[in-house]
Structures are given as C-alpha cells and as structure tokens.
Structure 1
Amino acid sequence: MHYMHGYGSIWPMIGMIIFLAGLIIIGLFLVSNYVSGGRKKDSLGILKERLAKGEIDESEYERLKSILEE
C-alpha cells in the first residue's frame, strides 16, 4: 500500500470527509423539517384553508376542488 509521507493512507481522510458531509446533509434536513413544522401542505389542504379564511367562497371552492380531483 502506498503511504503519503509516513502519515498513512488517504482513504481514512476521504471516508471522514464523506461521513462529515453526510452529517451536514442530515442536519440540514432535520433543521428544514423542524422549521416547516414537520408537515407539507397538499393542494386540497391549502384550498380548505383559503375557504376557512374567507379568501374564496363555497362555489369557488367546489370549482377548484373538482379541478384538483381530476
């Protein structure tokens, strides 16, 4: 096996970089999931919220709901 200036192989360093990159990616995922409240809204849920807030009326809700369910 080839050694670099007596310090050992390069593979442990590459493994550590991959491991640290994986930890950073997992950490970013967990933070973004925590910030978003752990749930993603679907289109029908957003439509129901708009109806509840009074942004749209019932006829508009039914029209948009039928479009979404197609």
Structure 2
Amino acid sequence: MEMYNGYHFWGMHFIWWFFWAVMLFWIFATPYNIPGQRRKKDSPLDILKKRLASGQITNEEYQQKKTMLESDSAK
C-alpha cells in the first residue's frame, strides 16, 4: 500500500516548502541596517569625515583634526 499516492510535495509538505522559501527570502533580502542589530562603531576618522561632508566643519578644521588623530594613533 503506497502511503502518499504520488502527492508527496503537496499538503503539509507544500506548506513547509513555502515556509522555507519565505525564510530564505527574508534572510537574504532584508537590509543589513536592521534596528537593534549590532554594528561596528564608526572610528573617529569616519565621524570626522561625516562632519566634513555635512558641512559642520571646514576643510581647515578637518585637516587639523585629522593630523591630530593620526599623530595620536601613531603613538
């Protein structure tokens, strides 16, 4: 006596295939900056570059602070 009668992938099996397809799509298609997700913190130089790009500091201030940061990291 054949148990599935040739309909092995339908019924509950179809639901599980659909579930795993949705899970894989969700894992690989969601953006990486999910709120609450741990991220690498920005370095001081990255923060300085962002401040220059947003116009909070001038290019001269950027150069001064950059040399200061580089001299501190060389020690």
Task: Give the TM-score category using the shorter length.
Answer: 0.3 to 0.5
Q: Which has the higher helix share?
A: 1
Q: TM-score, normalised by structure 2?
A: 0.45
Per the normalisation by structure 1, the TM-score is 0.48
